[in-house]
């Protein structure tokens, strides 16, 4: 997932995506623990996607605070 795709999502969509990614990460960790994970890089990619979503959420939070202070 690219950061440019994430930036255009609303806060509600970002929270839903974050919940989905956390669930996927849990499933991948479980598969890894049972040694049935086909692609170990999937763990790495999901963690990076979670970080991207959290970063955009934080940026939007700071933008909202900045707009509140500007009024």
Ramachandran bin of 39, using left for φ above 0, alpha for ψ from -120 to 50, beta for the remaining angles:
beta
**How long is the chain?**
71
pLDDT for the residue 71: 58
CB 16 within 8 A of CB 30: no
CATH annotation of 3-70: 1.10.287.310
Domain borders along the chain are 3-70
Instruction: Kindly tell me if the per-residue pLDDT of 36 is higher than 80.
Output: yes
Residue 69 pLDDT more than 90?
A: no
Confidence of residue 62 (pLDDT cuts 50, 70, 90): very high
pTM equals 0.89
**Average pLDDT taken over every residue of the chain:** 93
């Amino acid at each position: 997932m690219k950061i440019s795709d994430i930036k255009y999502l609303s806060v509600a969509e970002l929270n839903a995506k974050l919940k989905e990614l956390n669930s996927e990460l849990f499933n991948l960790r479980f598969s890894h623990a049972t040694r049935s994970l086909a692609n170990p890089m999937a763990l790495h990619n999901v963690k990076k996607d979670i970080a991207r979503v959290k970063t955009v959420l934080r940026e939007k939070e700071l933008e909202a605070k900045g707009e509140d202070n500007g009024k």
